[in-house]
Amino acid sequence: MMTPEQHEQAERMWRRGYTPLSIARCLDGISYREIEAAFDFGNQRHPDFCGHSPGFYKWLMEDCPYTWRPDNQDPADAPWSRHPQLYDRF
């Protein structure tokens, strides 16, 4: 059960467009189902450019060698995936 303080925090995040799962991760002891029940997520729209700047999104979708696209179906391994010390972090 959400406390009044948690409900207030959740409402601020909901108004900013956070998903129920993101809100639940920010609040201790609250499940995303409680968040869904408390607020109306039915009319929430996906952010423009997936939350990126227009220029970065354009680069990702048109030029990035690491992004899968219909014209790049075999993308190169991202540079960070070639660092052995990072294998156990993902």
Task: Convert the pLDDT of each residue in 22-74 to its tens digit.
Answer: 899 999 999 988 998 898 877 666 678 877 899 999 999 999 998 888 998 88
What is the structure's pLDDT at 87?
57
Structure-token pair, residue 84: 């052995």
Does the model's pTM come out above 0.75?
no
pLDDT at residue 47 in the model: 73
* 8 A C-beta contact, residue 7 and residue 38: yes
Residue of higher predicted confidence among 83 and 32 = 32
Determine the average pLDDT of the residues in 9-22.
Answer: 88
- Quick one: pLDDT at residue 52? 86
